[in-house]
Amino acid sequence: MRGKTLVFDARLIDNDKEEGFWHVVTKGKGEDRLFDPPRARRITWISALLNGTAPGVSRFSYTEGDGTVKLYYWLKSEKYVLILAEKPKIVSLVTAFYIDQTWTLKDLEKREKKGIAF
């Protein structure tokens, strides 16, 4: 992971769900997140994306407007993306999801074009 430790948000949501896990198997905003089967079915793909065994992955970094560097692992053929945030000493899990909206696809294409492959 670019020589850094990968971490995720381990805060408990509703006293039994770790935020980092819950975020990659649900969809929505804030407290209105609902279980999303297409996300949950693909949770094991995260490991393959990170360890390089998933074929055809587009990997790029993109600097957000606030200066945050995000690392994208995009499996285009499966419409799935993993997003991490790079910090000085760690890399943290932001989200991973199945792309089911055209606007999301267009946004990723723009970020990839402006980003830096790694």
Q: What is the pLDDT of residue 17?
A: 77
Which tokens go with 71?
């690392």
Taking only the tens of pLDDT, the chain with its 118 residues reads 678 999 988 888 776 778 888 889 999 887 788 999 999 999 999 999 999 889 999 999 999 999 999 999 999 999 999 999 999 999 999 999 999 999 999 999 999 999 999 9
| Number of domains into which the chain is organized | 1
Q: Rounded CA gap, 76 and 4, in Å?
A: 26
| Helix, strand, coil tally for the chain in percent (to 5) | 30, 35, 30
**Residue located via tokens 């006293």:** 15
Q: What is the pTM of this model?
A: 0.89
Residue span of the structural domain in which 13 resides:
5-117
